[in-house]
Chain A
C-alpha cells in the first residue's frame, strides 16, 4: 500500500530564516506530487505541482520554491520566511495517468514569529 510522509510535523521559525519541508511517498512510482497551504477558513491553496522529476509548476507567486530531486520526494523551500508564510502545509500525491484521486500527508504546521 502507499504511504506519504511529511516532516517536520510542527515548526516555529523566525522571520527571515530559511525553510525546508520534506515529503516522500512510498509504494508507488511516478506519482503526481503537490504542495498546498491551508489557512483557517480559506481552504486549500495549491502552491506547486509536479508531474515528474524537474517538472514543477508554480501556481502562486511567492517567496517559496519547490524541488523534486527524486521520483517520490518533494521539497518545499524558502530562503527568507515572511510572517504571512505561517500556515498548515500539506503534501499530496495522485497516481496520475487518468487516476486523479489525491492522497494527503499528515501536514506541517509552520509558525513564523
Chain B
C-alpha cells in the first residue's frame, strides 16, 4: 500500500465551480500536511500547509485535514482558468522525509 494515494484525474470543471481535491494516507504518524500547485514544466508551488487536524482558509482555497479518517482535502472556490494545473498533496511527521501524492490534473474551462 502506498503511503499517500491521490486520484490522478484528469478533472475538468467550468469556470466558477467549486473544486474538491483529495488524498488519503496510511501512516497515522503524519502531522504536517501540504498542498502544492504545479504548472507544466515548473517546480511545485506551496499553496497551503496545515498542522494536525482542522481547516485552514486562504482566499479561495480551503485545506481540511481529518486525521481520524486519514483524509485531506483542498477546496477551490470560484475556480479560474489560471487554476488549471496539477495539484500535489504532501505530508510528513519528521520533516526529514516527505510523502507526496502523484498529483491531480485540473483544467478549468472558461
Closest residue to B48 on the A side, CB-wise? A101
- Closest CB of chain A to B1's CB: distance in Å? 15
- Taken together as a complex, chains A and B put the C-alpha atoms of A104 and B44 apart, in Å, by 6
User: Which residues does chain B contribute within 8 Å of A57, judged by CB atoms?
Assistant: 96
Residues of B within 8 A of A105 (CB): 43
Q: Out of A46, A98, A99, A107, which one reaches B98, CB within 8 Å?
A: A46
* Chain A, interface SS category: strand
Q: Is A101 in contact with B34, judged by CB distance below 8 angstroms?
A: yes
A-binding residues in B (CB < 8 A): 8, 32, 34, 36, 41-46, 49, 88, 90, 92, 95-98, 100-103
**Which positions in A face B, CB cutoff 8 Å?**
6, 32, 34, 41-44, 46, 49, 51, 57, 59, 88, 90, 94, 96, 98-107, 109
A-B contact pairs, 29 of them (CB 8 A): A32-B96, A34-B98, A42-B102, A43-B88, A43-B100, A44-B100, A46-B97, A46-B98, A49-B96, A49-B97, A88-B41, A90-B43, A94-B95, A96-B95, A98-B95, A99-B95, A100-B32, A100-B98, A101-B34, A101-B46, A101-B49, A102-B34, A102-B46, A102-B90, A102-B98, A103-B46, A105-B43, A106-B42, A107-B41
